[in-house]
Structure 1
Amino acid sequence: MKFAYFVLPHIGGTYTVFKQLRKGLAMHGIDVHWLGFGKSNPLVNPEWQSEAAFGTMVEAPEAADEQAQARLVAAAVRNGGFDGIFVNVLTDRVQMNIARYLPANIMRIMIVHNITPGTYAAAVAIKDHVHATIGVSERCRGDLVEKYKFDKERTFVIPNAIDIEPFIGKKRGSRDETGLRMLSLGRIEDASKGVFWLPGIMDKSPASVRLTIAGNGPDLEQLKRKLSHHKERVTFLGAVQPDRIPQLLLDHDVLVMPSRFEGYPMTLIEAMAAGCVPIVSHIQGVTDTIVIDKNSGFLFPVGDHTEAARIISKLNADPAKLASASSAAREAAEQAFTFEGMASQYHHVIERVTTTRPHISAPLDLDDWSFPRGLRSGLRTYVPRPVKNWLRVMRERYRYTPFGSFS
């Protein structure tokens, strides 16, 4: 069988999932190719040219409207000989919507990568046109089934996973006796990643603790300004290529992740595989299914940068506790988050759909191309960002049950 995975090569979790899924499903005789779409081609950049062998880029002319773009995507699926597609919610709305228009013989599997209302609204918009839906966390699947009435027999939870091989047997960098080496890794954006809480964490952490910030994003310059009074303790690396991430994690003691929301963070799993102890927001059904609190990492209530700093201070003063958590994190990652296990679960879903071929809505006519409500801008677009951020914190705090104090 041959599947298209709708994504463009980029630094980020969605493409990392593709790479692991491609390797894993190949072991089951399933060929997975990325199928990218847009008006700019990432393959012109030298760092992505090697990925050309694993996918196809569909370039849209500048003058092409979205209906014309949809025809190009549909033709690429048809001409590529694909038996099925993986639709990633909200990576590209044309590629999402095309699921409603493809021929009936094309298997459609939707992957929901996040837990926001906007993500769920987009998933609802095409749910009647997909054979199966995969949520990347227990929270994801639970919300889809309980709140959005997805068929529980066709909705699955398959956590993301990584290739453990680059981390196995690798020695961690020697601990700096003067203080913790802390790392923030990923997209620098406050709405989801909570990066503007990093200055508060640094304000309340011991002066010996240093922070490395690796990544790029729309809030980078503002974050630099907010951390300017800690410039002697903070290093900005910019975007980091995937092949450098394992060593970067091995060279740091803890990963700090103050996110407001996550789907199933790959960075967290990679950190654990490197023995870089995670200190992360407690997002129920997501981070608490990855980290065993006070064992393989530490959880703090979303937005509580004081508690995050308290954990950092305790670990800074307790090398034995840090070493114990590092070992537990590596062991958990090596046992639970392998790409082979993830691919086996995807293979099970594909086999189930192949056997049962559940009923879905009839394909729509491309001549009548339109976007359903969930793929159009809604009222949430006009809610001010500070209000959205406050609501996100309250939502998680309401769900959050304290685990007790650090011990």
Structure 2
Amino acid sequence: MERFLPWLDAVAGVSTEICRKIEARMTSRKIPAVHQPYGVPMPETPLARSHDGPLRVLYLGRVSEEQKRVSLMRRIMKATLAKHPTLTWTLAGDGEALPAFQEDFKGDARVNILGPVPYEQVPKLLEAHEVYFLCSDYEGLPLSLLEAMGAGLVPVVSDLPSGISEVVNDRNGIRVAIDDKEGYAAAVLQLADDRQRMAAMSSAAVSEVRLSHSTAAMASRWEAMLDRMMGDSEPDWGRPCRAGAPLGHESRLMFNPIFRPFRSAVKRYRLGKANSAGIT
């Protein structure tokens, strides 16, 4: 990042933890690292949800051991299904670990393995579930988490310093310490046994995202940041701007405007030579 600093006025990070790490890496020049979390589209009116019947848990993401710890998720799924036989799981996503899930849960009607799901189908998928599950050991700020909470799903997620801890709290979800392997299953089972608590958390999850993580809220934050940076000055959109050499390019002299006719001539010559070679 250091080499880009001379051309930047600010850096945006999706979590305060990321902003803190960005600021720690700046040595040659200090610029603001501004917390700018994502926003997701929200329906005009909240979805009417029913919390009757078997608990429906959804994993939506990459089916990979790296970061997502899906081998742990397989064990959690088996533990919850053994203790709560009516509970259901849906796995939506693709990755190298998908065949292991297909083999482990073959013939189990309580586990629905969808594979990759087109993005336009995600809203309907979220509508059909009540709990969003994620046991990653690191994340920035998962967009799927915000989309799920905005649709009323209650998150059972890893307690991570970046992003998740700023969105998920005791009122709208359950955070589990990443080394508490049994804690993930226990959290899912708690929600399965206490549907009244889960309904309250679902409403709180929607309110959190609508208030702080909608696209409208995101746009307002960016507008406020740009206003602060501009101060009282007005942008001069008509001012000519000179483009320099690409950052990190060794031969900066070649991008001097004086050499532009020469570069164009060389380019035309090479193109003509290549076309001639193709014809013959």
In which range does the TM-score fall when normalised by the shorter chain? 0.7 to 0.9
Q: Aligned residue for 1:291?
A: 168
Q: Match of 1:197?
A: 72
Question: Matches of 2:24 and 2:248 in 1, distance apart?
Answer: 32
Deviation (angstroms), 1:352: 5.0
Shift of residue 305, structure 1, vs aligned partner:
3.0
Structure-1 residue corresponding to 2:145: 268
Tell me the secondary structure at the aligned position of residue 296 of structure 1. Answer: coil
1:181 aligns with: 56
1:169 to 2:169 alignment: no
3-state SS of 1:192 partner: coil
Distance 1:221 1:158, change over 3 A: same
- SS of 1:324's partner is helix
Matched letter for residue 149 of structure 2: M
Scaled by the length of structure 1, the TM-score of the pair is 0.53
CA contact (8 A) 2:5 2:29 kept: no
Quote the offset at 1:318 in angstroms: 0.9
For residues 235-275 of structure 1, give each alpha carbon's deviation from its aligned partner in whole angstroms, at most 9, with x where no partner exists. Answer: 11122222322221121110101111111111111111111
Is this contact kept in 2: 1:260–1:303, CA < 8 A? no
1:305 to 181, 189, 211: 181
Q: AA paired with 1:288?
A: S
Q: Are 2:190 and 1:314 equivalent residues in the alignment?
A: yes
Q: Distance in 2 between matches of 1:277 and 1:231?
A: 24
Matched, 1:247 2:106: no
Amino acid at match of 2:36: I
| Structure 1, unpaired ranges of 5+ | 1-122, 371-407
C-alpha displacement of 1:130:
3.0
Cα distance in 2 for partners of 1:139, 1:150 equals 21
**TM norm structure 2:** 0.75
Give the C-alpha shift of residue 165 in structure 1.
2.1
1:145 touches 1:151 (CA, 8 Å); kept in 2? no
Q: Secondary structure, in 3 states, of the residue corresponding to 1:193?
A: coil
Between structure 1 and structure 2, the one with the greater Rg is: 2
Matched residue SS, 1:299: strand
Verify: 1:219 aligned to 2:94, yes or no.
Answer: no
Matches within 5 A, 1:123-138: 123-124=1-2, 126-138=4-16
SS at match of 2:132: strand
1:368 maps to 250
Contact residue 189 and residue 217 of structure 1 kept, 8 A: yes
After the TM superposition, which residues 375-390 of structure 1 pair with which residues of structure 2 at under 5 Å, given as runs?
none
**Residues 345 and 153 of structure 1: CA distance in aligned 2, closer, same or farther (over 3 Å):** farther
- SS of the aligned residue for 1:237 comes to strand
| Structure 1 SS opposite 2:66 | helix
Are residues 130 and 283 of structure 1, via their aligned partners in 2, closer, same or farther at CA, if it must alter by over 3 Å? same
Find the counterpart in structure 2 of residue 336 from structure 1.
212
Q: 1:140 aligns with which of 18, 34, 52?
A: 18
Q: Which amino acid aligns with 2:207?
A: E
Superposed displacement of residue 136, structure 1: 0.7
> Helix, strand or coil: the match of 2:192?
helix
Looking at structure 2, the residues matched to 353 and 298 of structure 1 have their Cα atoms a distance apart, in angstroms, of 37
Question: Quick one: distance in 2 between partners of 1:277 and 1:150?
Answer: 43
**CA RMSD of superposed structures (Å):** 2.8
**Aligned with residue 203 of structure 2, among 321, 327, 338:** 327
The SS at the match of 1:183 is: strand
SS at match of 1:213: strand
Q: Which amino acid aligns with 1:137?
A: S
Letter in 1 for 2:250: D
Task: Identify if the C-alpha distance between structure 1 residues 207 and 345 changes in structure 2 by more than 3 Å, giving closer, same or farther.
Answer: same
Matched residues in 1 for 2:96 and 2:26: separation?
31
Give the Cα–Cα distance (whole angstroms) in 2 for the partners of residues 314 and 366 of structure 1.
54
1:213 and 1:363, CA in 2 relative to 1: closer, same or farther beyond 3 A? same
Q: In the aligned structure 1, how far is the partner of 2:67 from the partner of 2:248?
A: 35
Which amino acid is 2:13 matched to? G
Deviations 1:156-188 (A, max 9, x none): 11000111127x33222x4452x3110001222
Alpha carbons of structure 1 residues 153 and 240: separation in structure 2 relative to 1, 3 Å: same
Cα shift readout 1:105-149 (whole Å, capped 9, x = no counterpart): xxxxxxxxxxxxxxxxxx445344433211111110011113554
Per-residue CA deviations over 1:3-55 (Å, capped at 9, x if unaligned) read xxxxxxxxxxxxxxxxxxxxxxxxxxxxxxxxxxxxxxxxxxxxxxxxxxxxx
Equivalent position of 2:159 in the other structure: 282
1:128–1:228 CA distance, 2 compared to 1 (3 A): farther
Q: CA deviation at 1:155?
A: 1.4
Unaligned residue ranges in structure 2 (runs of 5+): 236-243, 253-280
